[in-house]
Copies of this chain bind each other. A is one copy, B any other.
Amino acid sequence: MTTALEAALAHVDAHLDQSVERLKTLVAIKSISTDPAYAGEVRRAADWLAAEIGALGFAASVRATPGHPVVIGHDQSAPGPHVLFYAHYDVQPVDPLNLWNTDPFTATLVTGADGEQQIVGRGTSDDKGQLLTFVEACRAWKAANGGLPLKVSLIFEGEEEIGGKSLPGFLASARDELGVADIALVCDTDLWNATTPAIVTMLRGLVGEEIEITCASHDLHSGMYGNAARNPIQVLADIIASLRNPDGSVAIAGFYDDVAELPAEIAALWKRLPYDEAAFLKGAGLTTPAGEKGRSVLEQTRSRPTCEINGITGGYTGDGFKTVIPAKASAKISFRLVSGMDPAKIRAAFRRHVEDRLPPDASVSFREHGGSPAVSVPTDGPFLRKAAGALAEEWGNEAALIGSGGSIPVAGDFKRQLGLDTLLIGFAREDDRIHSPNEKYNLSSFHKGIRSWVRILAALATD
């Protein structure tokens, strides 16, 4: 006799093509949250999702926020525990467009160099593909068995890529509605490797800063003013150069004050994990870790704080040449924070570092682009144990309990605003080129991701 779980898994396998078609439809909506020109597209993505889950039988709605809307769905018809699933439907910009091999908004199936089928397009991995793994798992349960095995609420955010500013306020206002869940599930993370699932238990925080250096009152001719006039590009370069020590560490005073070493048992676990530093770097065309000397790549990218320059501009940047000394130059700089670091303290230390290095005739203005602390998730609860078991059944390998390099502030928001712990489970691969041209999601990530959630829903429903 076929169990409910087997029936739902069989439905997933039999209807994968339709699931991919729905992903293509969602990718085609250009929901770039950072660019005001695309606000209508972000809204359209929210509407499409609400309609989609509404058709599945969820009580669905699009909720206004001060920024982009949140999509909410509820199906509480089953007995048993109550999960709140989160993913985001907004995406990063697609420039530089000329580096894409296919249209970024036309999800395209291609065969990768490793022979695997890939779905290429902006958001296929981050996070539209991951979002739909859960929706399609719910669809399979309902189609195969007439309903879900437990209570499910859904929350889809449209501002994750721009710092998720509206979410904490929204969660606070929806505490009665969403805080009744028992556990939050978030799908915005990676597999450990092609065959090893992962549950993320450490998330770094993020501080974003934009600085603009101003010297002269207007652009100057370098032949008339060169040498004598302070050049803001030179000032900015001097400041950026001062941010890192020759040993690769961050040179801001006090930056590492609140950074703890990894607990010995976690450090030991990470050493045992299958991980190929050289292969990781090679995937990006690199050979040599650039961060703190003596730290492994795993530490540098997952348990150590960063300081990265994400953008810089000043003077004439078009074709040809213009002998100008510009009045202004600016840079976007971000910091990844680990447990214990205070975003406000790091921001203040950075600003002091810059201000202390301003030469005569140079002034600076700062602009804040989000700030969130790191989050740790307990590793010993029953939900985590059940979810890890379900993942092991699907993948044939035990799930890795790891730290994530990226920032997923929603886990902290769920804890603070709703009192909920979060299980961070995702199926992306580290070579998915998220935020970059030719972003992709392996078809196997999508397929086995849906199957994983089908199993996790069954596992969490058990006593």
Q: State the A residues within 8 Å of B (CB).
A: 34-36, 92-93, 95-96, 99, 161-163, 204, 206, 208, 210, 215-231, 233-234, 236-238, 240-244, 248, 280-281, 284-292, 295, 297, 300-301, 304, 306, 308-327, 329, 331-332, 334, 336, 359-361, 369-370, 404-407, 430, 433-438
Chain B residues near A322 (CB-CB < 8 A) = 34, 92-93, 161, 310-311, 332, 435
Chain B residues near A284 (CB-CB < 8 A) = 216-218, 220, 225, 229
Chain B residues near A93 (CB-CB < 8 A) = 316, 318, 322
The answer to whether A308 touches B407, judged by C-beta atoms less than 8 angstroms apart, is: no
The answer to whether A285 touches B216, judged by C-beta atoms less than 8 angstroms apart, is: yes
State the number of copies, please.
2
Docked Cα-Cα span, A436 to B222, in Å, equals 11
The answer to whether B241 touches A319, judged by C-beta atoms less than 8 angstroms apart, is: no
CB distance from A248 to the nearest CB of B (A): 7
CB distance from A325 to the nearest CB of B (A): 6
**Chain A, interface SS category:** loop
Docked Cα-Cα span, A291 to B360, in Å, equals 12
Docked Cα-Cα span, A96 to B322, in Å, equals 13
The answer to whether A306 touches B222, judged by C-beta atoms less than 8 angstroms apart, is: yes
Residue of B nearest to A161 (CB): B322
Chain B residues near A313 (CB-CB < 8 A) = 312-314, 317
Residue of B nearest to A304 (CB): B227
The answer to whether A301 touches B228, judged by C-beta atoms less than 8 angstroms apart, is: yes
CB distance from A230 to the nearest CB of B (A): 4
Choice from B208, B286, B311 contacting A361 with Cβ under 8 Å: B286
The answer to whether B218 touches A436, judged by C-beta atoms less than 8 angstroms apart, is: yes
The answer to whether B336 touches A223, judged by C-beta atoms less than 8 angstroms apart, is: yes
Choice from B34, B231, B234, B323 contacting A435 with Cβ under 8 Å: B323
Chain B residues near A430 (CB-CB < 8 A) = 224
Docked Cα-Cα span, A95 to B322, in Å, equals 11
Choice from B218, B243, B291, B315 contacting A99 with Cβ under 8 Å: B218
**18 additional contacts (CB under 8 A) given A220-B435, A311-B314, A311-B317:** A36-B319, A99-B219, A162-B321, A208-B321, A218-B437, A219-B437, A223-B407, A225-B301, A227-B295, A229-B286, A231-B308, A237-B309, A309-B315, A310-B323, A311-B326, A313-B313, A316-B332, A321-B332
